[in-house]
Amino acid sequence: MGDLSCKLLVIGAGPGGYVTAIRAAQLGLDTLLVEAGKPGGTCLNVGCIPSKAMIHAAEEFAKVVGMAAGNSPLGIGLATPTLDLAQTVAWKNGIVGRLNSGVAGLLQKAGARTLEGWARFRDGKTVAVETADGTQVVRAGHIVVATGSAPVELPFLPFGGPVISSTAALELTEVPPRLVVVGAGYIGLELGTAFAKMGAAVTVVETEQRVLPRHDAALSRPVAKRLSDLGVEVLTGCRAKGLSDAADALLVEKADGETVALPADRILVTVGRRPVTEDWGLEEIELAMDGPFIRIDTHCRTSMRGIYAIGDVTGEPMLAHRAMAQGEMVAEIVAGEKRAWDKVSIPDVCFTDPEIVRAGLSPDEAKSTGLQIKTGIFPFQANGRAMTVEREEGFVRVIARADNHLVLGLQAVGAGVSELSAGFSLALEMGARLEDIAGTIHAHPTQSEGLQEAALKALDRALHI
C-alpha cells in the first residue's frame, strides 16, 4: 500500500469525530476519518440512540400493561399485552442502521475521505492503520484524537456470562426475569427502569446513600419515587462484592457489614465510563495527561503541536453534544479561523422516569460563588399540560443573581423535560435575566410555561401558584 497524506486526520468516527470531519471538509480541508467500527461511535451504535429507543419501547409496553390491568383513568381497556423483545431489538437496530447510513452520507456529501481500520501513532505526524487489506500509513498535517470511552469493568465482576455492560444489555432478546443493576447513575437507572417496565424484577445496588448521587436531592427524589412505584428495589449504602459460587447471584455487602446474595439472571454493571486511550500508540507521542484523560487547552490542543483531542477522551462531561461542539471548533481552528472554547452551558439530560435536565450552575454551585442568589421553582402539579398527560410530578427551577437577576442555572425534572434543554441553554448563552424569561410569551398549554412561571416566582410575581 502506498502512503496516504492529508491535511487533517481524525481518529474515531463518534459524534465528535464525524462532526470534525464533516466541518473540516466543508471548509475545504483535505480530511481523512479513520474508524474501526461503524460510524457514529458509542452514542449512535450502543449508547444514546439505541437506549432511548428501548426506553420508548418499554414505556409504550408499560402503558398497555396498565390499561390491560384496568388502571387507566381514561377508561381505556384492552386484552393482555405481550412483548417480543427480539422484534423490539430489531426495530432499534433498524434505527441505528438508518443513522449509520446517514452519517456516511453526510461525510461523503461534505467530501471527507474515510478509512476503516484501527489506527496507531508512529509519531506526531504519522499513523499506521490496520485495515482488512493490510497496514496503511497515513501522514497528516494535523491529527484529532476522538477515540471516545468504554464502560468501566470491575475487577471482581468482569464482563461475561451473567455479568453484562450497557452495550450487551441493549442486545438482549429476552427480558431477564431477575436483573440486578450495579450503580444508580443515569445509565443504570435508564436501563433498569426500562427493563422493569418490560417485566423484569429489578434491584439496584448503589454505594452512595441515594440514587443519582451526582444530582441534587430535589431532582433525584421524583426518580426514586417512580422507581418505588415500578417495584424496583433500591439498596443504597451497599457495595457489590462479586458473584456467588454458582454465578446465579450477586454478593452485596450492606452498610452494617452483612453480606447478602441477590438472585440474578443478569447483572448489569454501570459504574461509569473510562476514556479509550490504550492500543492507539499514544505512548509513542507522550501526550500530557490529566489522570486518565488527555490534557487539552481552550482550543482542544494537546501538549504536542498539531495534535488535538476532543470528546470523552478529554474528560467530563462525557456528552456527545460537547464532543460535537469541540469537533466543529477544532475543524475551524485548523482551517485558520479564530475560535476558543467559551461555552456557558453544556446541558445534560437523564432519560430516567421522570427525565432530568440541568444547565448552568446548581443551587450549591451558585451559592459557592459567594453571590447572593434568587431561586424560583414552579411545580408541574400547577401546569395544565402536565395534568392532561397524567404526569404531574416534578418542577422547573431557575437560579439567578439577586443583584442584577442574571440567570446562572436552570434545572427541571418531569416527563419530557429533555426538550426544555435547548431553551435552558439558549437563555444562559444569551445572558438572559429573569425579566427576559418572564417577559417572553410561552405557548399555552405547554410544559415550557413552567420556565416562565419559575422566573416569575423568583421575581415575586408568580401568577399560577
Q: In CATH terms, are 4-53+86-151+274-334 and 163-271 the same topology?
A: yes
Q: Which pLDDT score, from 0 to 100, does residue 78 have?
A: 84
Q: Which pLDDT score, from 0 to 100, does residue 185 have?
A: 97
Closest by CA to 378, choosing from 459, 460, 452, 461, is 452
**Domain ranges across the chain:** 4-53+86-151+274-334, 163-271, 348-458
- Domain 163-271 fold: FAD/NAD(P)-binding domain (3.50.50)
User: In whole angstroms, what separates CA 233 from the centre of its chain?
Assistant: 24
Tell me the longest C-alpha to C-alpha distance in the chain: 71
- Cβ 151 vs Cβ 270: under 8 Å: yes
Q: Which pLDDT score, from 0 to 100, does residue 381 have?
A: 97
- CA–CA separation, 322 and 346 (whole Å): 7
Q: Which pLDDT score, from 0 to 100, does residue 137 have?
A: 97
- CA–CA separation, 363 and 51 (whole Å): 30
Q: Which pLDDT score, from 0 to 100, does residue 324 have?
A: 98
Per CATH, the number for 4-53+86-151+274-334 is 3.50.50.60
Task: Write out the catalytic residue numbers.
Answer: 444
Single pTM value for the model:
0.95
Q: Which pLDDT score, from 0 to 100, does residue 323 have?
A: 98
Q: Which pLDDT score, from 0 to 100, does residue 79 have?
A: 85
Residue-level pLDDT, tens digit, the chain, 465 residues: 789 999 999 999 999 999 999 999 999 999 999 999 999 999 999 999 999 999 999 999 999 999 998 888 889 888 889 999 999 999 999 999 999 999 999 999 999 999 999 999 999 999 999 999 999 999 999 999 999 999 999 999 999 999 999 999 999 999 999 999 999 999 999 999 999 999 999 999 999 999 999 999 999 999 999 999 999 999 999 999 999 999 999 999 998 999 999 999 999 999 999 999 999 998 899 899 999 999 999 999 999 999 999 999 999 999 999 999 999 999 999 999 999 999 999 999 999 999 999 999 999 999 999 999 999 999 999 999 999 999 999 999 999 999 999 999 999 999 999 999 999 999 999 999 999 999 999 999 999 999 999 999 999 999 999
Q: Which pLDDT score, from 0 to 100, does residue 190 have?
A: 98
DSSP string across 408-448: EEEEEEETTGGGGHHHHHHHHHTT-BHHHHHTS---SS-TT
Q: Which pLDDT score, from 0 to 100, does residue 80 have?
A: 86
The CATH homologous superfamily of the domain defined by 348-458: FAD/NAD-linked reductase, C-terminal dimerisation domain (3.30.390.30)
Q: Which pLDDT score, from 0 to 100, does residue 213 have?
A: 96
